[in-house]
Structure formats: C-alpha cells, structure tokens
C-alpha cells in the first residue's frame, strides 16, 4: 500500500470519528456550558498521558478565549498540587477509557469537596462517567492506529470537543477581537490585533499629484514616492489612485506616454480606511479586495498609505 493511501485512510477514519462525535452532542453539552458560565471559580483541566497533552491544549485555548482555565497534572495533584483547587472550581477530566487510576483518585477527592466535575470520555458506562456530574460522550468507532492501540481518532475527538466548548463559551460571552487581542499581546498575531493602521502606515513624502500631470512627471513622482503609486488629488480631496501597474497597462493600451490619457487609467473612488482601524482588519480588507495599498485618512484628510508586499 502506498504511504499516500495510508495517510488518506487515516484522515478518513478520523473524519468518521468526528461525525460520530457530532451525533453524540446532547443536552449534557448545554449543561456543561451553563455550569462553566455560572461558575464562581476557575475551570481546571486534567488528564493523563495523551489525554493530558490534549487537555493542556484545551486549557490553553479556553484561557486565551475568555474562560479562566489551567491544566493540572493528575499525578502531580495527588502529590501536593491539590492545593491549587478551590471548592468553587470546576474540573474537566479527560480519560477515554474512563478508568485511568490517577483521574479516578482525583475524582474521589473532588466529590468529597463538592467540586463540579465534567468528564470527556469514550466510555459512557465507565467509573468516571458514572460518578462525574456531567458526561460528554467522545466515543469514536475506531482508532486510526492499525493495531487499535495508539490514541489517534480518540484524541482528535477530545481535542475537537474541547474546541467546541471554547467556541460555545466565546459565543455566550460575546468575546470580541479587542478581548482576544488583550490576551495575545505578543508575537505577530498580537501585533496585528493591537496595532492600528495609523501606527503602521507611511506618513512622509506622500506622492500627491494633480489629475492634469504629464505622464513623464507622474512617473518621476511615483519613483520618488517609493510606494508604487500616486495619489491623484489633494489630502482633503482624493480623486483616485494610479499604481505602477495602471501605468504599465496604460502604456500598452495607448502605445506611448505621449498618447496616454491619465483620466482613463486612474482608479477612482479607491478604498480608504481610517487611522483607527486595526491592522488585522485592514489586511483582511486588502486580501478581500485584492489590493496591496490603502490610503488612510483622519479628520477627512489623507494622512498616509498602508502597504503590504506579496
């Protein structure tokens, strides 16, 4: 069998697992969301082995999308870290078999102290499922592993179910871009979310030109501006834009600069954005409109140009 076919079969098996997961979503999911939203404490995620690794990602996603959460290793919890758990905290416990020793020992402690427990398990009849307050069924038809031993489809299902919890909580809390940015101040993503167009645009030496400029002079002004375009009009009255691409196409159309009619190659009513727009929003707009430069205004006047390079 070709390795490519093995890859396709693996993906198909996991897709079937996710279809089964979607069908298993029921009122228990709504209960889980309601308890988390009304909870007075934190959401603590715990799991052993591969389930623990999935749990770490789930906790991270929840914390970054508005739900205070962290991961607690169940073995470490039993050796002193139980002090991290307050009575008001809710525990999200992951165990596909529902019989993981460390998770069950942790569950016994939680029941004694009255903590709300939510289980993600593939075994609805397991010890974990029978004693947890809420059970989210993550059973899958088969693992992608040919030996049916290595957690593959089952860990994918648990991860997706965690994402479903996070997204539902985001919707319930009306979690918005500005809040996402508050939790992601670092790196490229945080930069785009927190930075405005006004902070990233070019302000100096903007190449404004009159509509009646000669083509030769236009070419000089475009070169001096080093933006690959000219702004036709004034800061208070932008009539259009001529890009270097427009100029080249005009040469082909008219045959020479002497014959070129700039009024017929200018892009009128170009997209203009405000300085206060988030960089991420501006770049999404540019991608949608398939443009690489945006005139920027403030107080009704053009104050800069934001440009991206492919």
Give the chain's residues under pLDDT 50: none
pLDDT of residue 66: 86
Residue 224: left (phi > 0), alpha (psi -120 to 50), or beta?
Answer: alpha
Report yes or no on whether pTM surpasses 0.85: no
**pLDDT, position 179:** 60
> Cα separation of 211 and 208, whole Å?
10
pLDDT at 182: 60
Contact criterion met (CB below 8 Å) for 247 and 298 = no
All structural domains of the chain, each given as residue ranges with its CATH number in brackets, are 3-175 (3.40.50.10490), 197-307 (3.10.580.10)
pLDDT of residue 21: 97
DSSP letter string, the chain: --HHHHHHHHHHHHHHHHHHHHHH--HHHHHHHHHHHH-SS-EEEEESHHHHHHHHHHHHHHHHTT--EEE--HHHHTTTGGGG--TT-EEEEE-SSS--HHHHHHHHHHHHHT-EEEEEES-TTSHHHHHSSEEEE---S--SSTTS-S-SHHHHHHHHHHHHHHHHHHHHHT--HHHHHHH--SHHHHHHHH-BHHHHSB-SS--EE-TT--HHHHHHHHHHHTSSEEEEEETTEEEEEEEHHHHHHHHHHHSSTTT--GGGT-EES---EETTSBHHHHHHHHHHHT-SEEEEEETTEEEEEEE---
């Amino acid at each position: 069998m070709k390795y490519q076919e093995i890859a396709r079969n693996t993906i198909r098996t996991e897709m079937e697992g996710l279809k089964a997961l979607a069908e298993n979503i029921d009122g228990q999911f709504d209960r889980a969301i309601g308890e988390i939203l009304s909870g007075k404490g934190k959401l603590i995620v715990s799991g052993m082995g591969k389930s623990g690794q999935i749990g770490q990602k789930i906790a991270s996603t929840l914390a970054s999308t508005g739900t205070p959460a962290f991961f607690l290793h169940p073995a470490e919890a039993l050796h002193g870290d139980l002090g991290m758990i307050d009575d008001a905290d809710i525990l999200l416990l992951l165990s596909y078999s529902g019989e993981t020793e460390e998770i069950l020992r942790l569950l016994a402690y939680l029941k004694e102290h009255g903590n709300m427990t939510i289980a993600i398990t593939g075994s609805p009849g397991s010890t974990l499922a029978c004693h947890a307050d809420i059970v989210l069924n993550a059973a899958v038809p088969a693992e992608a592993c040919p030996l049916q031993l290595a957690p593959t489809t089952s860990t994918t299902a648990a991860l997706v179910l965690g994402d479903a919890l996070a997204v539902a909580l985001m919707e319930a809390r009306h979690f918005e871009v500005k809040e996402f940015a508050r939790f992601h101040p670092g790196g490229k993503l945080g930069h785009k979310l927190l930075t405005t167009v006004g902070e990233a645009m070019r302000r100096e030496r903007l190449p404004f030109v009159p509509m009646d400029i000669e083509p030769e002079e236009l070419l000089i002004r475009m070169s001096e501006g080093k933006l690959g375009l000219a702004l036709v009009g004034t800061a208070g009255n932008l009539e259009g834009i001529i890009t270097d691409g427009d100029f080249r196409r005009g040469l082909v159309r008219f045959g020479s600069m002497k014959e070129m009619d700039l009024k017929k190659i200018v892009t009128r009513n170009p997209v203009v954005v405000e300085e206060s727009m988030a960089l991420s929003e501006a770049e999404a707009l540019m991608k949608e409109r398939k443009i690489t430069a945006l005139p920027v205004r403030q107080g009704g006047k053009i104050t800069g140009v934001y440009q991206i390079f492919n």
